[in-house]
């Protein structure tokens, strides 16, 4: 973390920061409830989340149909304003910012399951943070492994997420950079700043038949990580029992290839 972006004034020290919380698991997911309540101890929180699960939808934006934006009193957030959207996680951030006012920070999660390596390209959780980033807002995505029993205790993770979010509000983040945070399946041994590793899914397609004999297909896969023992990577760190914090820069240009490609292009 560095000093705040000078193009964006910091929040007044005397005012409570405003934090927009989104996710991809849906507004009734336990992770977002734990996160929102933890953040509300020091910030003015508003929750805007999908009305149903939107996992693995990536950074999709809905443009070919209208979106519904409804206040949701039954989501268990107490006095925290909570709204559900019949769209993607990125839609939630767009509507939250434009309809409710610009926050000081966008936070996404806590996701049910990790988002590591190449998962970032299809994760709805990370996409909500990316959308905040594209709107010029400091943004963090949080995700968590299940424990060995396949269960989730979001309380300790939400407490650390709240401390980290408060520090980001105080210090800011560099332009075009978000934080992607993953919690391990065990009580953390510590915190590591990590590289985005090579974790990915080896895709497969399972074909079956419906009762009328017509084929249908499931996209399945197996989780793999070629650098799973390298604790400098996100996957390796969480496998070793650490909280992984990866700074992710949204810069899609392969700058090291510009000169070589310029020389290689055929003439018009």
Residues 97-101: contacts with CB within 8 Å, 24+ apart? 97/20, 97/132, 97/135, 97/137, 99/69, 100/20, 100/46, 100/48, 101/18
Ordered structural domains, the chain, with CATH: 18-196+229-250 (3.40.1210.10)
Identify the band that residue 3 occupies on the pLDDT scale cut at 50, 70 and 90. very low
Q: What is the pLDDT of residues 116-156, one digit of tens each?
A: 998 899 999 999 999 999 999 999 999 999 999 999 999 99
Please report, rounded to a whole number, the percentage of residues in the chain having pLDDT higher than 90: 78
Residue 71: its H or E element? strand 69-71
Q: What is the pLDDT of residue 26?
A: 95
Among 63-67, 155-159, 196-200, 245-249, name the one with the lowest average pLDDT.
196-200
- What whole-number distance in Å separates Cα of residue 142 and Cα of residue 125? 8
Q: What is the pLDDT of residue 228?
A: 65
User: Is residue 58 classed exposed, middle or buried when 0-12, 13-18 and 19+ CB atoms within 10 A define those classes?
Assistant: middle
Among 57-61, 232-236, 241-245, name the one with the lowest average pLDDT.
57-61
Contact (CB, 8 A) for 97 and 105: no
- The yes-or-no verdict on residue 14 having pLDDT over 90 is no
User: Is residue 241 classed exposed, middle or buried when 0-12, 13-18 and 19+ CB atoms within 10 A define those classes?
Assistant: middle
- The yes-or-no verdict on residue 36 having pLDDT over 50 is yes
Identify the band that residue 54 occupies on the pLDDT scale cut at 50, 70 and 90. confident
Instruction: Give Cβ neighbours of residue 11 (< 8 Å, ≥ 6 apart).
Output: 17, 18, 104, 169
- The yes-or-no verdict on residue 199 having pLDDT over 80 is no
- The yes-or-no verdict on residue 9 having pLDDT over 50 is no
Q: What is the pLDDT of residue 222?
A: 72
Classified as helix, coil or strand, 85 is strand
Q: What is the pLDDT of residue 4?
A: 38
Q: What is the pLDDT of residue 160?
A: 98
Residue 100: its H or E element? helix 89-100
Q: What is the pLDDT of residues 79-96, one digit of tens each?
A: 999 999 999 999 999 999
Supply the mean pLDDT for the chain.
90
Contact (CB, 8 A) for 147 and 186: yes
Contact (CB, 8 A) for 24 and 53: yes
More confident residue, 14 or 242: 242
- The yes-or-no verdict on residue 15 having pLDDT over 90 is no
Identify the band that residue 57 occupies on the pLDDT scale cut at 50, 70 and 90. confident
Identify the band that residue 76 occupies on the pLDDT scale cut at 50, 70 and 90. confident
Among 8-12, 40-44, 90-94, name the one with the lowest average pLDDT.
8-12
Classified as helix, coil or strand, 256 is helix
Q: What is the pLDDT of residue 128?
A: 97
Contact (CB, 8 A) for 118 and 199: yes
Question: What are the backbone angles phi and psi of residue 8, rounded to the nearest 5°?
Answer: -125, 110
Residue 170: its H or E element? helix 154-171
- What whole-number distance in Å separates Cα of residue 118 and Cα of residue 114? 11
- What whole-number distance in Å separates Cα of residue 24 and Cα of residue 87? 10
Segment 48-70 shows an average pLDDT of 91
* Structure-block tokens of residue 146: 């299940």
* Structure-block tokens of residue 194: 């990590």
Instruction: Give Cβ neighbours of residue 69 (< 8 Å, ≥ 6 apart).
Output: 48, 83, 84, 85, 95, 99
């Amino acid at each position: 973390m560095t000093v705040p972006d000078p193009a964006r004034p910091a929040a007044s020290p005397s005012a409570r920061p405003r934090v927009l919380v989104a996710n991809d698991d849906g507004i009734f997911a336990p992770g977002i409830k734990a996160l929102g309540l933890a953040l509300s101890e020091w910030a003015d929180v508003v929750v805007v989340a999908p009305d149903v699960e939107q996992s693995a939808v990536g950074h999709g934006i809905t443009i070919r149909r209208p979106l519904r934006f409804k206040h949701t009193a039954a989501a268990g957030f107490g006095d925290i304003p909570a709204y559900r959207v019949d769209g993607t996680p990125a839609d939630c951030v767009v509507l939250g910012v434009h309809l409710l006012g610009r926050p000081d920070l966008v936070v996404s999660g806590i996701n049910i399951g990790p988002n590591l390596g190449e998962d970032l390209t299809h994760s709805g959780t990370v996409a909500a943070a990316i959308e905040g980033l594209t709107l010029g807002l400091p943004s963090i995505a949080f995700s968590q492994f299940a424990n060995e029993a396949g269960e989730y205790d979001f309380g300790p993770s939400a407490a650390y997420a709240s401390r980290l979010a408060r520090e980001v509000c105080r210090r800011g983040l560099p332009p075009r950079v978000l934080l992607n945070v993953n919690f391990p399946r065990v009580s953390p041994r510590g915190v590591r700043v990590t590289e985005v590793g090579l974790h990915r899914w080896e895709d497969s397609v399972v074909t079956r038949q419906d009762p009328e004999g017509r084929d249908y297909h499931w996209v399945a896969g197996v989780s793999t990580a070629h650098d799973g023992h390298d604790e400098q990577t996100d996957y390796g760190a969480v496998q070793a029992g650490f909280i992984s914090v990866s700074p992710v820069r949204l810069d899609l240009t392969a700058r090291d290839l510009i000169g070589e490609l310029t020389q290689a292009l055929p003439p018009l």
